[in-house]
Amino acid sequence: MDLKLLTIDAARSAVQDGKITASALTESFYAKIEKDDPQIGSYLALSKERGFAKAAAIDDMAKSGKVLPPLAGVPVGIKDVMVTRGVRTTAGSKILGNYIPPYDCTAVARLESAGAVVLGKMNCDEFAMGSSNENSAWKPVHNPRDLSRVPGGSSGGSAAAVAADLAVATLGSDTGGSIRQPASFCGVVGLKPTYGRVSRYGLIAFASSLDHIGPLTKTVKDTAIVLRTIAGRDPMDSTSAEVPVPDYLAELEKPIRGMKVGVAREYMGEGLDPEVRSAVEDAVQSLAELGCEIVKVSLPHTEYAIPAYYIVATAEASSNLARFDGVRYGYRAENARTLSEMYRRTRDLGFGTEVKRRIMLGTYALSAGYYDAYYLKAQKVRTLLTRDFDNAFKQVDAIVAPTSPTAAFKLGDKTDDPLAMYLADIYTVTANLAGIPGISIPCGQTKEKLPIGMQIFGKHFDEATILRLAHAYEQAA
Amino acid sequence: MKVTDKDVSYVADLSNLELSAEERERMVRDLNSILGHIDALEKLDTSNVQPMAQVSDRYGVDQSKQGSERFAYASREDILEGLRKSLPHEEALANAPDSDGIFFRVPKVIER
């Protein structure tokens, strides 16, 4: 079976109709991973035992003639920040180098209940902190479209694997753009749902008020299928919202004619690569031709988003990462004489440079004398940024913007300049601060044949509208 | 320069990090560079703006309800066993770097 362009429905139907067994499909994905992944580096661990067991169960169901669930036999990959029972989970960090979780992340459990076969764990920046995947403690990921370039981050492995046909779909996490930016760099679809739409239970926390789980897939329809599967209230996460989950597949087919689509000048200004700008402008034109009304909107506080984000995110991270102390799980430095020395040496040796930098920045921002100037200030700016979106959405149904100011950059380009790396998130962090959904879809390529991504933002809990627009654009393109 | 070597030592101490001399030097440089950018926030007048700690108290909840009422859906009766059974003892200890089979074991807490 040709794994290229294999979608969720195609994989499931092939298994349902007996054209291929789920076991054989799983086997062919593992063979391709063995052949192609050494150059790409998208997997950190393969869960063969678990994957083949699930595939065999699906094959038994198919043999008995039962109607298979929506993801039956579909090979998927899980970002290594989501815990998987019995399968090593490291969050891309040495401090969790030998961690075998005793439970499953809700999103993973829901995918498997819908029939998905978990192939393994995807490479990522350490604790999801990074925009290029170069902060993985284990190995970098290379962009399948150009191996000298980064796949984006932090869900770099999740995006690269989908682009290289090493999984049909993957789960990623997005705290400041970590699903959307790599999706854009690798030329795939990536969705950050509304905050509270998908349970975070079992997601290793980076910044709890900004963390989201979402899908990366080849098509918008596949993203809709995965979202429908993982969305909805989970009693294990008190911030998962009790908001009904619509039938996203039915929503996809509804017309987009007459929809109001906003374009914000703050996202099209200085610092935006001209090739990316022109691709996004062309995409806006296509939406107009499909019958959308294009409306200029303003999100006036956008320039403050990166400063506010890097205070809120690091402050929450400094608190969340306090749990890594070498006592209950993970790495412990040897030969420490006292408890305090053990903590320090464990964290010194277990965390990478970027993680330490963020813990330091966050602790500084929360420390006595600086709390009001940094943390409280950033929280107030968060209110203003959220209000910007609330106001814009009084005029429009969705907002289109570039996902990233540039296409994929080269490995090593930004590793010595943390601020330059942070600025790569300029168009994505706003959706995390405001909690609104955002999807990145391919909208052309540069002269060097690098993918360009376009982002569509929607109102809180209105993933249906942005999926509809993205689907209509994808079908027309 | 805002952040000094002394600040870095103090914050490292709060963070339970030690950092090598080289790391400290780099941290002084990086934190100053990042905070230099973050200082743009000072330009913005936020004196009449309420801080926002999270999203989930604003969207997807019943706005007519206040306080804990608003989150009633997320609460439950106190029950002896939680939503699911507690982790069995041996599973909870399975990932421990050091344990005696009953407790986590750590280096001496009280010095001297």
Tokens of A12: 């499931």
d(CA A144, CA A403): 19
Cβ distance of B19 and A377 shorter than 8 Å? no
Helix or strand holding residue A383 (H, E): helix A377-395
| Exposed / middle / buried, residue A279 (Cβ in 10 Å: 0-12, 13-18, 19+) | buried
Mean of pLDDT values over A37-55: 98
Q: Domain B5-43 belongs to what architecture?
A: Orthogonal Bundle (1.10)
Q: How far is B75 from chain A (nearest CA, A)?
A: 8
Cβ contact A304:A345 at 8 Å = no
Residue A72 lies in a domain: yes
CA angle A354, A355, A360 (to 5 degrees): 95
Cβ distance of B92 and A460 shorter than 8 Å? no
d(CA A427, CA A434): 13
Owner of token pair 């869960």: A47
Residue type, A349: L
Q: What share of chain A is helix, strand, coil (3-state, %, to 5)?
A: 45, 15, 40
Cβ contact A85:A101 at 8 Å = yes
Phi/psi at A193 (nearest 5 deg)? Answer: -70, 180
Order of all β-strands in the sheet with A75-79: A43-46, A117-122, A75-79, A169-173, A213-217, A189-192, A438-445, A451-458, A398-402, A260-264, A293-297
- What are the start-end ranges of the H helices in B1-112? 5-14, 21-38, 89-93
Residues A31-40 pLDDT 10s: 999 999 999 9
Would you tell me the crossing angle of helices A106-113 and A220-230 to the nearest 10 degrees? Answer: 110
Residues A165-194 pLDDT 10s: 999 999 999 999 999 999 999 999 999 999
pTM of the shown model: 0.97
Coil/strand/helix, residue A470: helix
Cβ distance of B51 and A344 shorter than 8 Å? no
Q: How far is B66 from chain A (nearest CA, A)?
A: 16
Reported in sequence order, the residue ranges of A43-161 that DSSP labels E, i.e. its strands, are: 43-46, 75-79, 117-122
Mean of pLDDT values over A141-150: 98
The residues of A assigned a catalytic role are 79, 154, 178
Residue with the bigger pLDDT between B58 and A301: it is A301
- Residues in CB range of B8: below 8 A, 6 or more apart: A360, B19, B24, B27, B28, B31
d(CA A23, CA A72): 11
Q: How many pairs of residues across A and B have Cβ atoms under 8 Å apart?
A: 181
- What are the start-end ranges of the H helices in A266-322? 274-289, 305-320
Question: Which of B33, B41, B60 lies closest to A381 in CB terms?
Answer: B41
Question: Which of A341, A377, A461 lies closest to B60 in CB terms?
Answer: A461
Cβ distance of B11 and A307 shorter than 8 Å? no
pLDDT of residue A1: 77
d(CA A33, CA A76): 12
- Write the CA distances from A25 to A41, A133, A229, A307, A440, integer angstroms: 21, 28, 21, 46, 28
Q: How confident is the model at residue B76 (pLDDT cuts 50, 70, 90)?
A: confident
pLDDT of residue A5: 82
- Write the CA distances from A403 to A65, A270, A428, integer angstroms: 44, 15, 6
- Write the CA distances from A32 to A26, A46, A123, B2, B35, integer angstroms: 10, 13, 17, 52, 45
Residue A168's nearest CA partner among A158, A177, A178 is A158
Residue A284 lies in a domain: no
d(CA A290, CA A271): 29
Q: How many helices (H) and strands (E) does chain B have?
A: 3, 0
Residue A194 lies in a domain: yes
Residue A312 lies in a domain: no
Sign of the four-CA dihedral A174, A175, A180, A183: negative
Residues A257-271 pLDDT 10s: 999 999 999 999 989
Chain B interface mutation, best of A380, A387, A460, highest count of B Cβ atoms under 10 Å: A380
Mean of pLDDT values over A87-105: 97
pLDDT of residue A329: 97
This model of the complex carries an ipTM of: 0.93
Q: How confident is the model at residue B64 (pLDDT cuts 50, 70, 90)?
A: confident
Residue A49's nearest CA partner among A103, A19, A10, A87 is A87
Residues B3-53 pLDDT 10s: 999 999 999 999 999 999 999 999 999 999 999 999 999 999 999 999 998
Q: How far is B90 from chain A (nearest CA, A)?
A: 10
What CATH number did the domain enclosing A226 receive? 3.90.1300.10
pLDDT of residue A387: 97
d(CA A2, CA A21): 14
Residue A352 lies in a domain: no
Please count the structural domains in chain A. 1
Identify the domain containing residue A142 by its residue range: 8-252
pLDDT of residue B25: 96
pLDDT of residue B62: 84
B103/A contact by beta carbon, under 8 A: no
d(CA A97, CA A125): 14
d(CA B77, CA A58): 38
Say how many CA atoms lie within 13 Å of B43 toward its Cβ: 10
Which residues 2-41 of B have a C-beta within 8 angstroms of A?
Answer: 3, 7-8, 10-12, 14-20, 23, 26-27, 30-31, 33-35, 37-41
Contacts with A335 from chain B: Cβ below 8 Å = none
Residue type, A124: C
Residue with the bigger pLDDT between A146 and B54: it is A146
- Residues in CB range of B32: below 8 A, 6 or more apart: B1, B2, B3
Residue A325's nearest CA partner among B79, B95, B90 is B95
**% chain A with pLDDT above 70:** 100
Cβ distance of A337 and B51 shorter than 8 Å? no
Coil/strand/helix, residue A122: strand
Tokens of A119: 């192939």
Residues A392-417 pLDDT 10s: 999 999 999 999 999 999 999 999 89
* 3-class secondary structure per residue, A407-428: CCCECCCCCCCHHHHHHCCCCC
Sign of the four-CA dihedral A293, A297, A299, A302: positive
Q: How confident is the model at residue B75 (pLDDT cuts 50, 70, 90)?
A: confident
Contacts with A242 from chain B: Cβ below 8 Å = 60, 73-74
| Exposed / middle / buried, residue A126 (Cβ in 10 Å: 0-12, 13-18, 19+) | buried
B91: left (phi over 0), alpha (psi -120 to 50) or beta: alpha
d(CA A190, CA A179): 6
The secondary structure of B66-82 as a DSSP string is -GGGGGGGG-----SS-
Residue type, B52: M
Cβ distance of B51 and A379 shorter than 8 Å? yes
Contacts with B61 from chain A: Cβ below 8 Å = 241
Owner of token pair 């997005």: A174
Nearest residue on chain A to B110, judged by CA atoms? A338
Contacts with B42 from chain A: Cβ below 8 Å = 377
Residue A351 lies in a domain: no
